Structure 1
Amino acid sequence: VTAKEKESVRNKLVTTAKKLAVTAKETELINKELRTLDVAKDEFVSIASHQLRTPLTALKGYAGMLLDGDAGPINDKQHEYLLEIKNSNDRMIGLITALLNVSRVDLGVFIVEPERLNLKKVAEDALKDLGVKIVGKQLQIETNFRDDVPLINADLNIVRMIFQNLLSNAVKYTPEKGRINVNLKKDGSNILISVADSGYGIPSNVQSKIFTKMFRADNARVKDPDGTGLGLYIIKSTLEKTGGKIWFESIENKGSTFYVTIPLNGMKKKEGTKRLELK
């Protein structure tokens, strides 16, 4: 190889290195712009959701008053229409609340305020809230709350959200006269929560996507067209930032079991601007 050829190769390498440096800088600028747009999108969702929820909350209140006869008696057909208005409004409020929580999680602005909690009581309250649906579907509920589970420091809204989501999903996706088991026990340095059902299960080919934002399996869409696909995403994202974990096991047409761990030493406190909200 002659000196001239060496110089030519060296020049080409220098030129290539300069082009790569320019490309890297351009890529960095594009990524920065994309991150800015992503933050702007989350902020827009947060603001829009908040503004939408205010009139919907008022509508819910007035519909409830009309159903209760506060403005005078109503006939059966009026009751039917008002009930449909109220139920549709409740679904919309649930979606907006979920979107608000997603934006707070994605922006990292949600607050975690641990306090001494009795997890058994939170679980029992969540089951009580679902009582009408449980009775309506004639579901068999079995609970196993170990006596050695201590009070722990955890954020009440987050823990309520965990139980509400896992139990409402179990009720929703378990057929009539099915079975749901709710367990609470110490497991090493954690408290282990598990909710098992004899429901429709999750197809194996989509199980890797179950914690993805807005994802819903086809069989879930058939059973409940109004779901948002946000609940499990919010729970997983929140637990990862507070020291906990969530995972599941499922066999299609046989049922699912979801597991959640919360450290015995409690959730990590987190500063922010807004708490996560319940439906």
Structure 2
Amino acid sequence: MVLDGDAGEISASQRQLLQEAFTSSERMVHLISDFLNVSRLQTGKFVIDQVQTDLVSLVAEEVANVSQVASAHKVNVRFRKPARFPLLYLDENKLRQVIMNLIDNAIYYSPNADTVRVRLSIEDGDVVLRVVDHGMGVPKDAQKRLFTKFFRAENARRQRPDGTGISLYLAKKVIHGHGGSLIFESELGKGSTFGFRLPIRRLEKPPKKTVP
């Protein structure tokens, strides 16, 4: 990678320009993926395709993938891997997009020098993922509409004018498609926790194949 100096030493100004280009290209790829999934929902082609998945590795990969974006925003992302964790039958690609969007949002809405914490655990028979930030939080009057398509809170629009308002809507569809539920807690001016719960008993076995 050029940013890592593989093509030779680069100056601070060159690094900043490359960082901005990298961040923009990554965001474009994610936007295209999100809009394709919205289109599939509208045409009835949105399918949860479950394969055996190592969720710990998936989360670790996404934390690594957002490192450049986090660095550009001067935010640290911390993930402590659980020692033991079950393999689950998940739609790896769609769940990867959900996790990436949750971490990405936490980075963008966090102040400089803040730390975003990603926590993966087992609670009451569920796999639980939480992404915790200390950013601006969500106003109470916007919280009920937060997971509806294209909705964005006023303070989010001011801080990130280029947002689309579809990542949380898609997260709801993907998690519900796995039989899970969303986690959301927020206090204005103090931060937010976003995440999900997935039932282990339902997802530890291969899904039953339907006969046409």
Give yes or no for contact 1:114–1:154 (8 Å, CA) kept in 2: yes
Distance in 1 between the 2:167 and 2:71 partners?
24
**What's the counterpart of residue 62 of structure 2?**
126
AA in 2 matched with 1:210:
L
- Partner of 1:194, secondary structure, is strand
Equivalent residue for 2:118, pick from 182, 185, 193: 182
Structure showing greater radius of gyration is: 1
TM-score between both structures, scaled by the size of structure 2: 0.79
User: Which structure 1 residue ranges, 5 or more long, are not aligned?
Assistant: 1-75, 272-279
Cα 1:149/1:214, change in 2 over 3 Å = same
TM-score between both structures, scaled by the size of structure 1: 0.61
- Partner of 2:80, secondary structure, is strand
Give yes or no for contact 2:138–2:188 (8 Å, CA) kept in 1: yes
Measured against aligned partners, the alpha-carbon deviations of 1:230-255 in whole angstroms (never above 9, x if no partner) come to 01101101221221111300011110
Cα 1:221/1:269, change in 2 over 3 Å = farther
Compute the displacement of 1:189 (Å): 2.1
AA in 1 matched with 2:33:
T
Q: Are residues 1:152 and 2:49 paired?
A: no
Cα 1:229/1:205, change in 2 over 3 Å = same
Compute the displacement of 1:87 (Å): 7.5
Structure whose residues are more often helix by fraction: 1
Distance in 2 between the 1:95 and 1:144 partners?
28
Distance in 2 between the 1:140 and 1:170 partners?
11
Structure 1 runs of 4+ aligned residues shifted over 6 Å read: 86-90
Q: Are residues 1:213 and 2:149 paired?
A: yes
Identical columns (%):
32
Cα 1:117/1:139, change in 2 over 3 Å = same
Equivalent residue for 2:131, pick from 195, 199, 218: 195
Give yes or no for contact 1:113–1:269 (8 Å, CA) kept in 2: no
Report 1:224-239 matches (<5 A): 224-239=160-175
AA in 2 matched with 1:221:
R
- Partner of 2:144, secondary structure, is helix
User: Which structure 2 residue ranges, 5 or more long, are not aligned?
Assistant: 1-12
Distance in 2 between the 1:113 and 1:89 partners?
27
Give yes or no for contact 1:149–1:184 (8 Å, CA) kept in 2: no
Equivalent residue for 2:107, pick from 155, 171, 184: 171
Distance in 2 between the 1:89 and 1:125 partners?
18
Cα 1:108/1:239, change in 2 over 3 Å = farther
Measured against aligned partners, the alpha-carbon deviations of 1:189-236 in whole angstroms (never above 9, x if no partner) come to 210000000111111110111001000111111111111100110110
Distance in 2 between the 1:92 and 1:155 partners?
22
AA in 1 matched with 2:162:
D
AA in 2 matched with 1:242:
H
Give yes or no for contact 1:198–1:256 (8 Å, CA) kept in 2: yes
Give yes or no for contact 2:182–2:195 (8 Å, CA) kept in 1: yes
Compute the displacement of 1:178 (Å): 0.8
Distance in 2 between the 1:160 and 1:221 partners?
25
Compute the displacement of 1:260 (Å): 0.3
Q: What value does the CA root-mean-square deviation take over the aligned residues?
A: 2.6
Cα 1:203/1:97, change in 2 over 3 Å = same
Moved more, 248-257 or 142-151: 142-151
Compute the displacement of 1:135 (Å): 2.1
